[in-house]
């Protein structure tokens, strides 16, 4: 998912009272920020056995990490490169990683598992491996470490209780031509989240921040482990996880999947964005609509024809963008439809406003708000125009097609993220 900092037709079900499809009584979960699970309990849990080899010479890779992304299921290859992993019912993204090798990921269901899986990891190209170390800032963490933490972990109270145990693996580079900051990590980040009670091993694949558009994006493959603690800590962690869950994007996607948005406290309206024509720097034609970039770096998607944009120009005043709100509240089946027995598809034009009305935003968020809107209100846009597939866990893909600002732009950072096998108690 893309986050915007400091800024602001297909077949539908006819019966609003029913979910898009029958939901199994036992759900499996996963997490993004990235990738992949699907809940279909048609098969029992099955062990996955395999071996991890160097793609060039065929040598085993002992110590390679093997896990199901965004879950707490993982293991390490033995001295012969062999592994065995309990694979639950459903569809998951299997991730295999090793230092100085390209990350392997592939989506499997239990029914698709081979008797024995051979994974051949490709060594990173020498010139790329060199780029990771040398062209990046010598004192990168000193210069960009705090900035990285604020945009990756967030600025929440939970973020202040998170520690990256191996921050020395991070490298930073600022491209002064594109005005974009990039961060890479030679090995997985080890994150200790004492607020939510998790130890997270995060295989960072991409982190970028564009200073012109103020857009931050990152994705990777996290493996969650429960921190050890007594009964008192367990109760505190359970309460903190519930607070992080309700009103989150995971909560929204799960409610959307079940066609229970209103019942779960989500209020949704359609939005349209009208840019100041004089400030348009460039446009890009999409399959549906177009992507508009203003001269201040702001990006927006618009399906409006030119004559409509011109007609609204007098109403903008000095504002770069005019937001128009449709007065009709949207139901779940105005936004999504069943793709098959296990997935829904989120598809809408322009923007939607999503407000969660059953909780207050934390004080840490309110301190960052400049327009006085302290509600759990977010804006969503399918920036590329492509629909997003949603699963029962709340996982959605491709998450990079989904652009948010407002509450979720602040909230959906690693410090407040939960694994997609999380179930609120």
- The pLDDT score that the predictor gives to residue 90 is 66
Given a cut of 90, whether residue 237 has pLDDT beyond it is yes
Instruction: State how far the Cα of 409 lies from the Cα of 214, in Å rounded to an integer.
Output: 11
Three-class secondary structure of residue 300 per DSSP: strand
- The pLDDT score that the predictor gives to residue 4 is 42
* pLDDT tens per residue, range 247-289: 999 999 999 999 999 999 999 999 999 999 999 999 998 877 8
User: For residues 89 and 4, which has the higher predicted lDDT (pLDDT)?
Assistant: 89
Tell me which CATH homologous superfamily contains domain 47-121: Carboxypeptidase-like, regulatory domain (2.60.40.1120)
Mean pLDDT value across residues 23-30: 31
Q: pLDDT band at 76, cuts 50/70/90?
A: very high
Mean pLDDT value across residues 184-196: 96
Instruction: Give burial (CB, 10 Å; 0-12/13-18/19+) of 70.
Output: buried
How are strands ordered across the β-sheet holding 280-285? 280-285, 290-294, 299-302
User: For residues 316 and 45, which has the higher predicted lDDT (pLDDT)?
Assistant: 316
Tokens found for residue 372:
């006085």
- The pLDDT score that the predictor gives to residue 197 is 98
Q: For CA atoms 418, 423, 424, 425, give the dihedral sign.
A: negative
Q: pLDDT band at 44, cuts 50/70/90?
A: low
Instruction: State how far the Cα of 414 lies from the Cα of 223, in Å rounded to an integer.
Output: 12
Mean pLDDT value across residues 55-65: 96
Q: Are the C-beta atoms of residues 121 and 61 closer than 8 Å to each other?
A: yes
Tokens found for residue 117:
């899986």
* Least trusted range by pLDDT, from 17-21, 232-236, 279-283: 17-21
Given a cut of 80, whether residue 233 has pLDDT beyond it is yes
- The pLDDT score that the predictor gives to residue 126 is 61
Instruction: State how far the Cα of 370 lies from the Cα of 374, in Å rounded to an integer.
Output: 9
- The pLDDT score that the predictor gives to residue 110 is 82
Mean pLDDT value across residues 303-320: 94
* pLDDT tens per residue, range 138-184: 889 999 999 999 999 999 999 999 999 999 999 999 998 888 999 99
Instruction: State how far the Cα of 362 lies from the Cα of 300, in Å rounded to an integer.
Output: 28
- The pLDDT score that the predictor gives to residue 2 is 53
Diameter of the chain measured on Cα atoms: 71
Given a cut of 80, whether residue 8 has pLDDT beyond it is no
* pLDDT tens per residue, range 146-157: 999 999 999 999
CA angle 21, 25, 26 (to 5 degrees): 115
pTM over 0.85: no
Three-class secondary structure of residue 131 per DSSP: helix
Burial call 250-266: b when 16+ CB within 10 Å, e when fewer: bbbbbbbbbbebeebbb
Given a cut of 90, whether residue 120 has pLDDT beyond it is yes
Mean pLDDT value across residues 68-96: 90
Q: Are the C-beta atoms of residues 69 and 30 closer than 8 Å to each other?
A: yes
Where is mean pLDDT largest: 3-7, 285-289, 306-310?
Answer: 306-310
Given a cut of 60, whether residue 201 has pLDDT beyond it is yes
Given a cut of 90, whether residue 115 has pLDDT beyond it is yes
Domain boundaries of the chain, sorted by first residue: 47-121, 139-232, 246-276+319-411, 277-317
Where is mean pLDDT largest: 45-59, 131-145, 283-297?
Answer: 45-59
Instruction: State how far the Cα of 316 lies from the Cα of 323, in Å rounded to an integer.
Output: 9
* pLDDT tens per residue, range 358-388: 999 999 999 998 878 889 999 999 988 899 9
**Mean pLDDT, the chain, whole residue set:** 86
Q: Are the C-beta atoms of residues 204 and 166 closer than 8 Å to each other?
A: no
Q: Are the C-beta atoms of residues 56 and 73 closer than 8 Å to each other?
A: no
């Amino acid at each position: 998912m893309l986050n915007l900092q400091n800024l602001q037709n297909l077949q539908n079900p006819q019966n609003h009272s029913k979910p898009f499809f029958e939901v199994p009584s036992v759900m499996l979960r996963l997490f993004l920020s990235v990738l992949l699970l699907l809940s279909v309990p048609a098969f029992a849990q099955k062990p996955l056995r395999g071996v991890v080899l160097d793609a060039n010479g065929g040598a085993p890779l002992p110590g390679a990490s093997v896990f199901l992304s965004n879950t707490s299921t993982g293991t390490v290859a033995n001295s012969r490169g062999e592994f065995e992993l309990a694979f639950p019912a459903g569809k998951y993204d299997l991730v295999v990683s090793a230092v100085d090798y390209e990350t392997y990921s592939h989506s499997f269901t239990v029914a698709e598992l081979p008797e024995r899986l051979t994974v051949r990891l490709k060594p990173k190209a020498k010139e790329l491996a060199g780029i990771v170390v040398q062209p990046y800032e010598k004192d990168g963490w000193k210069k960009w470490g705090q900035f990285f933490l604020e945009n990756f972990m967030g600025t929440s109270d939970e973020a202040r209780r998170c520690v990256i145990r191996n921050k020395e693996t991070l490298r930073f580079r600022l491209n002064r031509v594109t005005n974009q900051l990039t961060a890479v990590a030679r090995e997985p980040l080890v994150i200790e989240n004492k607020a939510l009670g998790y130890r997270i091993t995060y295989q960072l694949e991409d982190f970028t921040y564009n200073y012109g558009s103020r857009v931050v994006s990152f994705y990777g493959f996290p493996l969650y482990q429960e921190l050890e603690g007594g009964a008192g800590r367990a109760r505190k962690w359970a309460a903190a996880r519930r607070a992080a869950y309700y009103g989150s994007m995971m909560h929204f996607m799960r409610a959307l999947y079940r066609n229970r948005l209103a019942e779960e406290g989500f209020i949704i309206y359609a939005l349209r964005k009208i840019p100041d024509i004089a400030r348009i720097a460039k446009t890009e034609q999409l399959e549906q609509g177009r992507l508009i970039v203003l001269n201040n770096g702001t990006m927006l998607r618009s399906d409006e024809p030119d004559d409509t944009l011109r007609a609204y120009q007098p109403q903008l005043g000095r504002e770069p963008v005019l937001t128009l709100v449709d007065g009709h509240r949207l139901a779940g089946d105005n936004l999504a439809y069943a793709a098959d027995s296990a997935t829904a598809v989120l598809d809408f034009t322009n923007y939607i406003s999503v407000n969660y009305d059953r909780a207050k935003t934390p004080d840490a968020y309110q301190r960052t708000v400049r327009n006085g809107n302290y509600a759990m209100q977010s804006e969503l846009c399918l920036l590329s125009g492509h629909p997003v597939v949603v699963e029962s866990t709340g996982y959605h893909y491709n998450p990079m097609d989904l652009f948010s600002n407002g509450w979720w732009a602040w909230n959906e950072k690693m410090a407040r993220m939960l694994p997609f096998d999380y179930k609120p108690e």
